[in-house]
Structure 1
Amino acid sequence: MFQPTAVENARAFFEAIEGLGPRAGVTALAVGVVAVVGWLLLPRGVEKLRGSVIQWALAGALVRFTQIGLAAASAVVVLFTWNQGVYVDEFVAYLDGKTVLLGRVATSVALVTLAYVSARVVAEKVDGFGRQTDWITEHQEEIVLRVSQLSLFAVVGLGLLTVWGTELRGLLVGAGFLGIVVGLAARQTLGSMLAGFVLMFSRPFTIGDWVRVGDQDGIVTDITIFNTRLENFDGEFVVIPNDKVSNQAIINRSQKGLLRLRVDVGIDYADDPDHAKQVALEAISDLPEVVNAPPPQVFPKSFGDSAVVMEMRFWIDHPTPPRKWKAVSAVVTSVKAAFEAESIKIPFPQQELSGRAETGGFRVQDVTESTAEPVEPREQD
């Protein structure tokens, strides 16, 4: 049997390509028109309609329908170009007499278009409201937007089910039983979600705040519907469920923008507390790490075992852990240097030892008196 050679195979391949040239050209032209007009020119034209939110949203829907129409027309052209127009004829014949079906399809398209336009309008309104106000955070904007859009899509979904003749009574009963089962099985998750909504709108803290939640201390890095994430000072990330966050005391050190710190220092009982107070105040007030309003304060606090304890109070702005420790270090260093310059003694812990008078007291032996006999305590009469 005759076998074609490689040259004959190549010749046949190129003849087939030459025969496909016009069809391939029409196909490429159709795809190019759809890509250029539908995905390049139309979106740029819509950007000019941002003066009105409604016009912008409607223009966006018009762009989507135009893109779908161009894609459908291009598909029809390609089918006829490749002699597959019979599929188009069969589709048209199928639609003939399907008035109810076409009405449902048209109504569904109208509902989807309305949902699309409404969702874009809601998104634009929420974004504009967030830009005009300072009391709403980005997370709150996101929650409001998502809840609004989900509610809108739920209503449109029910409308679509009604249009297509779906019985809603049985569906709602089944959804009710499903909600009960899910609620019992995921009580903690639902509790965290509800607590997340409460945290979003009560705003006890925001991202970037330095907070203490229970026994966890750190910087807030993320707030979600279900949990709050902190980064502690060891570089570890702590994830706390929102229901745990809402049930514990929250200390926010960043909300006010100022934080008061306290450092204790002891002075010798022989030194003047008023003089030491003035020296400490001057040493603290000159530090750039400490703000002057509110002003620093120094108070004699208590009588210690070996010193009069004085409490130094001072404030820092934009509080963060690094700024706190930097300020504390600066205050300790500056006050110590100032006390040394004024000959104010910061005593070591010490105890005073004395003998009772009725026992005759005691005597500390000099180390040079190596031959001296120890003093025996007198016996009581």
Structure 2
Amino acid sequence: MVPPQSPAQQLPSGQDTTATDTTAVDQAVDQFSNAFSEAFRLLLAGNWEGLYDHLTDGALYLSGLFAERGLQALAALLLLYAIYRVLYLPLERALDRSDSIGLGLQSLLLKTFRVVTFFFIGTVVLDQLGVNIAVLIGGIGIAGIVAGFAARDSLENFIAGVTVLVDKPFGVGDYIKVDDQYGQVDEITLRSTRLRTVRNRIMVLPNTEMIKEKVMNHTKRNVLRLDIPFGIAYKERPDEAREALLPIVEDDDRILSDPSPTAVVTEMDDSSVNMLLRFYLRDPSQEVPMRWEYTEKVRETLRDADIEIPFPHRQLFLDEAEAFEGTDLLAPTNGDHPATN
């Protein structure tokens, strides 16, 4: 294989060395393609000795052509990666110590730093190898536009994820309710939010849903008011129900004394006087088990105090036998005839 003219020849004054280097690389690629075609022809002809000599000469030529640039690219890669490691570790520690930046936003910032840094390192290394970076970036841009149209939903979730991480309506560890789904935020990524339900199941919600739906954050203020609904009969007195129920919450250390617990009348229903037992929890994460516990306690306390808990019922009044005329209820049985006036 005949090598092309050496690119190290003296250049005229003012000539662009980058263009010449790129041309040299293009020529090397063409030579490699021609060498491969020749090797394939020798293989079909069964000329094993000629094939071996041809491949050996081509490999030596290409290795000599790229040796200098390869060493430069390797040196640039090692140097830039060392700088990346020196910058990454302090950045990670600084984000960990920050109280104003949540875990999700920390992850986003670190991933963005890695992507930008590796992209920069890649362009520098390719430039050292003689690759036309402008053409490469243009191709990546066109491919990015096509991929954006093809993955529109993923792009929307990505933008929504950035919005959630920056706006911080909730964070990892918060208890939230989204579209009748309640649970603890387990992880926030750029695509989705993972919610751990009270059944210890992981629910994956797209971030677009997190910004479109109403989100109720139960732990944003570190305290939570719990309402336990119940009803008493109309013959009972609300103050007696209040006197029976308040002592059971005042002695519970899990419940705040300020604001103080209350029991209030909320509605005059068809069959009952509806009330709410209200108190504030020290730990919002205990909302569900405390609700179950005090629903049972309210029922047992009212029962022990002989306070009736009514249930819905209806009374039907009929005007003597006229309502049954024309039905089987007044039909004679065993030969008897219905009574007549």
TM over 0.5: yes
Deviation string for 1:322-359 (max 9, x for gaps)?
x3343234434444444445443333445577899xxx
Deviation >6 Å, runs of 4+: 352-356
Q: Displacement, 1:129?
A: 0.9
Question: Which residue in 2 is equivalent to 1:233?
Answer: 198
The within-5 A match list for 1:31-50 is none
In 2, Cα distance between equivalents of 1:349 and 1:214: 30
Deviation string for 1:250-286 (max 9, x for gaps)?
2222332222221222233333333432332223222
Q: May I ask how many residue pairs the two structures share in their alignment?
A: 261
Q: Which of residues 125, 130, 137 in structure 2 aligns to 1:160? A: 125
Question: Which residue in 2 is equivalent to 1:311?
Answer: 276
In 1, Cα distance between equivalents of 2:79 and 2:310: 80
Contact 1:214–1:248, Cα closer than 8 Å, also in 2: yes
| Aligned CA-pair RMSD | 3.3
**TM-score of the pair, normalised by structure 1:** 0.59
In 2, Cα distance between equivalents of 1:178 and 1:333: 61
Q: Which of residues 164, 179, 192 in structure 2 aligns to 1:199? A: 164
The within-5 A match list for 1:279-294 is 279-294=244-259
Q: Which amino acid aligns with 1:185?
A: A
Question: Which residue in 1 is equivalent to 2:80?
Answer: 115
Q: Which amino acid aligns with 1:161?
A: L
Contact 1:290–1:327, Cα closer than 8 Å, also in 2: no
Question: Which residue in 2 is equivalent to 1:134?
Answer: 99
Secondary structure, counterpart of 1:326 in structure 2? helix
Q: Which of residues 203, 212, 233 in structure 2 aligns to 1:268? A: 233
The within-5 A match list for 1:311-350 is 311-320=276-285, 323-350=286-313
Question: Which residue in 2 is equivalent to 1:170?
Answer: 135
Question: Which residue in 1 is equivalent to 2:179?
Answer: 214
The within-5 A match list for 1:26-65 is none
Contact 1:197–1:225, Cα closer than 8 Å, also in 2: yes
Q: Which amino acid aligns with 1:345?
A: E
Which sections of structure 2, spanning at least 5 residues, go unmatched? Answer: 1-55, 320-338
Q: Which amino acid aligns with 2:143?
A: L
Contact 2:104–2:172, Cα closer than 8 Å, also in 1: no
Q: Which of residues 123, 146, 152 in structure 1 aligns to 2:111? A: 146
Contact 2:264–2:277, Cα closer than 8 Å, also in 1: yes
Q: Which amino acid aligns with 1:344?
A: I
Q: Which amino acid aligns with 1:228?
A: T
Q: Displacement, 1:187?
A: 0.9
Q: Which of residues 236, 244, 252 in structure 1 aligns to 2:217? A: 252
Contact 1:289–1:326, Cα closer than 8 Å, also in 2: no
Q: Displacement, 1:181?
A: 0.9
Contact 1:122–1:145, Cα closer than 8 Å, also in 2: no
Contact 1:220–1:230, Cα closer than 8 Å, also in 2: yes
Deviation string for 1:183-229 (max 9, x for gaps)?
11111112222222222333333333322222432232332222222
Name whichever of 143-152 and 228-237 sits farther off.
Answer: 228-237
Q: Which amino acid aligns with 2:136?
A: L
1:278 matched to 2:216? The reply is no
Identity of aligned residues (%): 27
Q: Which amino acid aligns with 2:212?
A: N
Q: Which of residues 270, 279, 295 in structure 1 aligns to 2:260? A: 295
Q: Displacement, 1:289?
A: 4.3
CA gap of 1:156–1:214, structure 2 versus 1, over 3 A, is same
Question: Which residue in 1 is equivalent to 2:37?
Answer: none
Contact 1:284–1:296, Cα closer than 8 Å, also in 2: yes
Q: Displacement, 1:291?
A: 2.8
Which sections of structure 1, spanning at least 5 residues, go unmatched? Answer: 1-89, 357-373, 377-381
Contact 1:192–1:225, Cα closer than 8 Å, also in 2: yes
In 1, Cα distance between equivalents of 2:114 and 2:67: 28
Secondary structure, counterpart of 1:246 in structure 2? helix
Secondary structure, counterpart of 1:206 in structure 2? coil
Q: Displacement, 1:182?
A: 0.8
Contact 2:175–2:217, Cα closer than 8 Å, also in 1: yes
CA gap of 1:276–1:139, structure 2 versus 1, over 3 A, is closer
In 2, Cα distance between equivalents of 1:235 and 1:100: 57
Q: Which of residues 213, 223, 229 in structure 1 aligns to 2:188? A: 223
CA gap of 1:276–1:109, structure 2 versus 1, over 3 A, is same
